[in-house]
Chains A and B, each alone.
Chain A
Amino acid sequence: MTTKLKSFLPLLGIAALAIALLVVAPAVLSDLRLNNLAKYCCWAMVAVGIGLAWGRGGMLVMGQGVFFALGAYAMGMHMQLESVGDGGIPTFMILYDPLAPLPAFWEPFRSGAFTIAMIVVAPVVVASILGFAIFKRRVKGAYFAILTQALAVALATLISGTIKYTGGDTGLSGFTSFFGYTLDDPLNRRLIFTITATLLVGCLVVAWQLYRSRFGELLVATRDAEERVRFLGYDPANIKLVAFVVAAVMASIGGAMFVPIVGIMAPKSMDAAASIFFIAGVALGGRAALFGPVLGALAVGYGQSTLSEQWPGTWIYVLGLLFIVVTIALPGGIASLATRGAGLLARLRSSDRKAASA
């Protein structure tokens, strides 16, 4: 009974989150706050992936901005082309040559289906190649973290330096519609929120299934004793690769939804600092727990918005202080509050039983 109940608990949690996001939030929040929440949900998707790779897999992925950018730029390019209409080129390209044809790598993004496919396929391909090279060579620990971080720096620099093709530092902006739905309509923005929240719930369901599968156990085993897993006949590289690729896809989907929500995509939203920001939320929430990364990302996003409204100019110190307090008081993150509570309850119950038997 207890084990059965326990395996149901996460599903109840996911259902509660789904109801909170998809039913309660749209009913009680203003358009402004719902759009803010949609933005936090994008960060939360990245966070779920980090939870899998870092929390369960022990890989400190400090460059998720790379995969965030793959999804975001795929979506940004599609929406930019949709805004300029058939045969048009993005406004930022006009300056250099108004009659130039669209660069070849932009052309297929006119298609919505191709864009959606790329949002999933691009991170799979990139993460597979990277992951294969990294994990087969048994690069891990701090070296792995620095490597991923360097990739985020490199990609941000590349995008900034190719202004004629990517919009550079200024980024892609001026979107008017999202797959045919005008962005000015508040109803359509609610639709975008619903899609984003659903995708987040989907990411959680995937993470939950992976955690309770044989793969999830192997992943944790690899994190804790990679050599033993190898001696048992498994290849830790393949196990890590799968977690890394899944995390990359989640970051890419989060990036893709980020663009219609905030209306601008520039390297600043995916560079090294942004990638560390993703990690910070996960650390705050509790990286190894299923709900830790989500709660952390939502809390950091909400904290940033409300604290900066309260104290413009000094909010960043308040947020920093909160980080310090949480890491000292709750090393397991916000999510460990639940397990701590449960532990306390169990201790109380066992002392009750002792008292009864005495």
Chain B
Amino acid sequence: MFKSRNRMLSVTAAALTTGLILSSCGGATTKDAAPTAAPKSCVDTSGDTVKLGFLNSLTGGMAISEKTVSKTLHMAADEINASGGILGKKIVPIQEDGATDWPTFAEKEEKLLTKDCVAATFGGWTSSSRKAVKPVVEKYNGLFFYPVQYEGLESSKNIYYTGATTNQQIIPAMDFLKAQGVKTLFLAGSDYVFPRTANAIIKLYAAKLGIKIVGEEYVPLDKADWTTQVAKIVKAKPDFVFNTINGSSNVGFVKAYYDAGLSPKTTPIISVSIAEEEAPAMGHDVSGNYASWNYFESIKSPANAKFIADWKKYPGNSGVTSDPMEAAYDSLYLYKELVEKAGSFDVDKINAAAKKYKITFNAPEGLITLDGENHHISKVANIGQIQPDNQFKIVWSSGTPIAPDPYLKGYDWFPAATRDALVKAAG
């Protein structure tokens, strides 16, 4: 009796679920259908305001960096509003928290585009966050402005990259090292896509420049112990160390470096992720070492003086200015320029305007120009030397802005097979 009732219940349950699946699946099958048009945009700019989405990690491990970017975006929005808005419409920022969690970035981007119906979104920091947002912003034909230097080899009609790509940061750093007469180089990086890609490019270019790579070491992003790797640097005695370590792992690297008796006099470091904000947090006087960026707080220009003064007055500011926050600041002004040239907030019209007009902004880093084809920015590359006050003294500069080349098409030493395969994969 007990057994048969048991079976009856299972059968009932099975039948119930099958029925429900069948009823709710009806019609939901469009196998290999022709690509459907992007869902209709719900952006409404008929009033006197325009909603923009800011997507930064305000909690989690990346919050320390991304909060500053978020504040800078709000400051830029306030400034633009004070001077009349975009096409006469005041910006209403909607802030979302990416929470240093990649699925959350995707979820919040979709929320901003489809529930809040924002005209464009700004933010992200890690490559993972950008890669999580990319399919969402492409699916809904939205816009995403990404403000951090990155590994390049990417493009999207829905993303604008306002930080440097590799030929505006990594390659100029190598030119600087060549000019310094560097013969041997050691590569130290965090184990993720940016350092791996940067070092792949560095190795190719070093072969061309005649610089010998005497070591290459990686440590996971969240690990701070660099003792064994630094011992290898001591043994290899390189002329320079190329540092692509990101975040707090730098503190462990710097400690191991000075503990091992290394110094900028004998074995200087050139970094691509230590800026004004990070330098004082290294737990050691790092002056004498170098960094490659496009923007430094020490750049002398009226636009930068105004940017610094505004930031120091802004509530909750972090004191210093840095490259990623400047790129975020620029992104909002470039968006304003794009919209006003297009005469519309429509994404397709904005992309057309990017191709048709010369979109420029007199940024704190200098005059920047948008490349309408690859959605990156022309930038001047600068090498700064860290001073005892943790400011950077510019010791080398590309002088003129370098055109963005994310797929390194203008560099014959980059293997064509790799480039073609990557371009093909990007569609």
- Residues of A whose CB lies within 8 Å of any CB of B are 7-8, 11, 14-15, 18-19, 22-23, 26, 30-32, 35-36, 39, 84, 88, 91-92, 94-96, 98-99, 157, 160-161, 163, 168-171, 173-176, 180-188, 190-191, 194, 198, 201-202, 205, 208-209, 212, 258, 262-264, 266, 268-269, 305, 308-309, 312-313, 315-316
Contacting pair A190 B28 (CB below 8 A): yes
Knowing A22-B20, A157-B220, A264-B132, the reply to whether A185 touches B196 (Cβ < 8 A) is: no
A164 to B36, CA, bound (A): 34
> What residue in chain B is nearest A160 (Cβ atoms)?
B220
Of the candidates A26, A32, A160, A183, which one forms a contact with B115 in the assembled complex, judged by CB atoms under 8 Å apart?
Answer: A32
Contacting pair B58 A30 (CB below 8 A): no
Q: Does B298 contact A (CB under 8 A)?
A: no
Contacting pair B28 A160 (CB below 8 A): no
Apart from A163-B191, A198-B20: 16 A-B pairs, beta carbons within 8 A = A15-B16, A18-B20, A32-B111, A84-B425, A91-B425, A96-B200, A98-B421, A182-B33, A190-B28, A202-B17, A205-B14, A212-B6, A263-B136, A264-B131, A309-B96, A316-B59
Q: Which of B102-110, B252-260, B322-330 contacts A (4 or more CB under 8 A)?
A: B102-110
Knowing A266-B102, A313-B58, the reply to whether A185 touches B30 (Cβ < 8 A) is: yes
Knowing A92-B193, A191-B28, A305-B107, the reply to whether A312 touches B131 (Cβ < 8 A) is: no
Question: Digit string of B414-427 for contact with A (CB within 8 Å is 1, else 0)?
Answer: 01011011100110
Contacting pair A174 B135 (CB below 8 A): yes
Q: Which 8 A/B pairs are nearest by Cβ-Cβ distance?
A: A262-B103, A313-B58, A312-B97, A169-B192, A98-B421, A173-B131, A170-B193, A22-B20
Q: Does B90 contact A (CB under 8 A)?
A: no
Q: Does B95 contact A (CB under 8 A)?
A: yes
Question: Digit string of B11-28 for contact with A (CB within 8 Å is 1, else 0)?
Answer: 011101100110111011
Q: How far is the CB of A153 from chain B (nearest CB, A)?
A: 10
**Residue from B9, B17, B100, B104 whose CB has the most chain A CB atoms within 10 Å:** B17
Query: Which residues of chain A are near B38, meaning CB under 8 Å?
Result: 184
A108 to B36, CA, bound (A): 31
Interface of B is mostly: helix
Q: How far is the CB of A12 from chain B (nearest CB, A)?
A: 11
Query: Which residues of chain B are near A183, meaning CB under 8 Å?
Result: 135, 139
Contact-residue size bin, chain B (C-beta under 8 Å from the other chain)? 35 or more
- Residues of B whose CB lies within 8 Å of any CB of A are 5-6, 9-10, 12-14, 16-17, 20-21, 23-25, 27-33, 35-36, 38-39, 58-59, 67, 95-97, 99-104, 106-108, 110-111, 114-115, 126-128, 131-132, 134-136, 139, 153, 191-193, 196-197, 200, 220-221, 415, 417-418, 420-422, 425-426
Contacting pair B153 A95 (CB below 8 A): yes
A188 to B39, CA, bound (A): 13
A315 to B97, CA, bound (A): 9
Q: How far is the CB of B298 from chain A (nearest CB, A)?
A: 31
Of the candidates B14, B17, B24, B136, which one forms a contact with A26 in the assembled complex, judged by CB atoms under 8 Å apart?
Answer: B24
**Residue from A36, A168, A170, A194 whose CB has the most chain B CB atoms within 10 Å:** A170
Contacting pair B96 A169 (CB below 8 A): no
Q: How far is the CB of B146 from chain A (nearest CB, A)?
A: 15
> What residue in chain B is nearest A190 (Cβ atoms)?
B28
Query: Which residues of chain B are near A171, meaning CB under 8 Å?
Result: 102, 128, 131
Of the candidates B13, B96, B415, B422, which one forms a contact with A14 in the assembled complex, judged by CB atoms under 8 Å apart?
Answer: B13
Query: Which residues of chain B are near A258, meaning CB under 8 Å?
Result: 103
CB-defined A-B contacts under 8 Å, sample of 30 = A22-B24, A23-B23, A84-B425, A94-B422, A95-B200, A157-B220, A163-B193, A169-B128, A169-B221, A170-B131, A171-B102, A171-B131, A173-B131, A174-B135, A183-B135, A184-B36, A184-B139, A185-B33, A201-B17, A205-B17, A262-B107, A262-B132, A263-B132, A264-B102, A268-B102, A268-B128, A308-B96, A308-B99, A309-B96, A312-B58
A35 to B67, CA, bound (A): 27
Contacting pair A169 B193 (CB below 8 A): yes
Query: Which residues of chain A are near B9, meaning CB under 8 Å?
Result: 7-8, 11
Q: How far is the CB of B34 from chain A (nearest CB, A)?
A: 9
Query: Which residues of chain B are near A8, meaning CB under 8 Å?
Result: 9
Contacting pair A173 B132 (CB below 8 A): yes
**Residue from A15, A184, A188 whose CB has the most chain B CB atoms within 10 Å:** A184
Query: Which residues of chain B are near A174, meaning CB under 8 Å?
Result: 131, 134-135
> What residue in chain A is nearest B153 (Cβ atoms)?
A95
> What residue in chain A is nearest B422 (Cβ atoms)?
A94
Knowing A264-B106, A312-B97, A313-B59, the reply to whether A191 touches B29 (Cβ < 8 A) is: yes
> What residue in chain B is nearest A25 (Cβ atoms)?
B24
Contacting pair B28 A262 (CB below 8 A): no
Contacting pair A186 B39 (CB below 8 A): yes
Query: Which residues of chain B are near A266, meaning CB under 8 Å?
Result: 102, 128
> What residue in chain A is nearest B419 (Cβ atoms)?
A98
Of the candidates B28, B29, B103, B114, which one forms a contact with A39 in the assembled complex, judged by CB atoms under 8 Å apart?
Answer: B103
Query: Which residues of chain B are near A92, meaning CB under 8 Å?
Result: 193
**Residue from B28, B33, B426 whose CB has the most chain A CB atoms within 10 Å:** B28
A198 to B126, CA, bound (A): 35
Contacting pair B135 A98 (CB below 8 A): no
Query: Which residues of chain A are near B97, meaning CB under 8 Å?
Result: 308, 312-313, 315
Contacting pair A18 B16 (CB below 8 A): yes
Contacting pair B20 A19 (CB below 8 A): yes
Query: Which residues of chain A are near B136, meaning CB under 8 Å?
Result: 263
Knowing A160-B220, A264-B131, A308-B99, the reply to whether A180 touches B192 (Cβ < 8 A) is: no
Query: Which residues of chain A are near B17, meaning CB under 8 Å?
Result: 18, 198, 201-202, 205
Q: How far is the CB of B203 from chain A (nearest CB, A)?
A: 11
Query: Which residues of chain B are near A168, meaning CB under 8 Å?
Result: 191-193, 196
Query: Which residues of chain A are near B10, meaning CB under 8 Å?
Result: 205, 209
Q: How far is the CB of A94 from chain B (nearest CB, A)?
A: 5
A197 to B425, CA, bound (A): 33
A66 to B49, CA, bound (A): 48
Query: Which residues of chain A are near B16, meaning CB under 8 Å?
Result: 15, 18
Contacting pair B131 A194 (CB below 8 A): no
**Residue from B9, B95, B107, B108 whose CB has the most chain A CB atoms within 10 Å:** B107
A181 to B33, CA, bound (A): 8
Query: Which residues of chain B are near A95, meaning CB under 8 Å?
Result: 153, 196-197, 200, 418, 422
Contacting pair A309 B111 (CB below 8 A): yes
A77 to B323, CA, bound (A): 36
Contacting pair A22 B425 (CB below 8 A): no
A39 to B103, CA, bound (A): 9
